[in-house]
Amino acid sequence: MVGGGGCYYDVEEELYPAAMCDTAAVTWATTVQPLVATNCATPGCHVPGGTGPGDFTSYNGVKNKVDNGTFATRVLDLQDMPPSTPLSNCELQQIDLWIKDGAPNN
């Protein structure tokens, strides 16, 4: 074993390059909603009574922010949302495709 028993961290982008990103069937229900539920609609954030502006527990709450441009600005342009764990390049690409497709409720 070279280098002893130190820590080893996989880098998702190196293990699964962009060519491996599944963008063939990006939908609200199977792609975007799970990302939003895991990263945005979390306790204290984009939920009723949370500190984040908007209720992301429903499609309509997210769609309002998509329609006014703030969702794309914060998630895709500034990439400061979610603040705790950055989205992968693949996840960003999937969200971008969904928004460019009109952010359908599919």
| Burial degree of 106 (CB within 10 A; 0-12, 13-18, 19+) | middle
DSSP per-residue letters across 52-74? SSS-TTSHHHHHHHHHTTHHHII
Least confident segment among 2-6, 38-42, 77-81: 2-6
Token readout for 14 is: 């190196």
Residue ranges of the domains in the chain?
A: 21-100
**15-33, pLDDT tens digit by residue?**
655 558 999 999 999 999 9
> Is 102 a residue whose pLDDT tops 50?
yes
